[in-house]
Structure 1
Amino acid sequence: MINSQKTEQITTLSKLIQDAKFSHYLDFSRKTGISELTLHRIDCGLIDQIPLKYIKTIARELNLSLEDFLNHIDGKFSDTSTTQTSTNGDDNLRAQITQEVQQGVMDTLESLLLQLPTLVKVVEKKPDLPASRLIPLLKPLNNLLSGWDIKAIAPVGAIVKYDPQQHELMATTQEEIEKVEIRYVGYRQKDKLLYRAKVSPVETKIQEGN
């Protein structure tokens, strides 16, 4: 049963490659940079162990969307154990895609995410500033971050215990640091640190004020 499924799987992948005008696996490998071993691993139902960037390349070179390619490949497994493996692989791929999309958006919005809370704090202190009209427009962004379980380490202006793992000093000091003030927020996604918060030692700020 397993052997027949593998043969059918190979036939499916081979047909997709031929439909895309590639003569065989070696030809496809040479023109795309995807190793034959990677293709055979897909044949064996190990697609969940293939890096997402390779799967995207294969789908693109076969003139298929990522979803269509996965449907072609996963649709050929029929018994319970193989279907479960295929489903798990599909779930893993979706998780990888979600993470990649989220990281891409975060990279694009990095400067906005890091500086915006500080701007909002200034506007809150001076509500007559024209920029105050922009604050309601930021609600969708906050909802997006919340939906991805991305949270600020601490709000701008908060006085917190210094943690070098989460805080980046904006100025060096020889004094022992206990408390710091958040100047620019940092972000975490569950247990993953995305950006450290930029902080100033509380003692340094008091001295400067004097």
Structure 2
Amino acid sequence: MQLLGISSYKALSRQAGVSERQVKRLRLGQVSQMRVETLIKLSQALKVPVNELLTTFGDRKPPALGEQINREHELASLQQEYQRLRSLLEQQRETLMQEFQMSSLQVLESFLLYWPTAAARALENPQMEAVKLLPLVRPVQQMLSQWGVEAITSVGAELPYDPQFHQLIKGTAQPGEIVKVSNLGYRQGEKLLHRVKVSAISKA
């Protein structure tokens, strides 16, 4: 707890998302009376393997032979349940990833089908108007919008230089001086994903 900056047992219960009673049970070595989900949450909060918790916080009193056999059986059952839940979580994670990929591919379907052909036609015919290709990019914009990703400002915009949000790629500028946007930046909610690339405007 000290290494992780957890100041009290109450703080541990909050961080792990379990009751203080469960933390007390762990301290008293009553792991056989605790649910597997609770042990997993505590192991994650303490960054200690569940097996180590089971070994460290076992019954402190020397048990009778029959009790020892029962406790060993209970611990083995807990370990098996932990492995089962861990395997289930991995399967759920893989399923969610597959569903995410499929939904993304559905949004991008028209882009995947028609963009390569349009790009090839543009290379064959340099006189082709680039504006005709813009509708093909809409699925990408739609997907970014669904993810809450927003473009910051617009290409060619002139605005006061802010080093926190802008990356100067050409020339020099002091904060507050007007610069020109070369490449868009992006944010997702309050999180800045990419700073806006800007160029200094010639003072001449």
Instruction: Report the TM-score, using the length of structure 2 for normalisation.
Output: 0.41
Return the index of the structure with the highest Cα Rg.
2
Instruction: Report the TM-score, using the length of structure 1 for normalisation.
Output: 0.40
More helix by share: 1
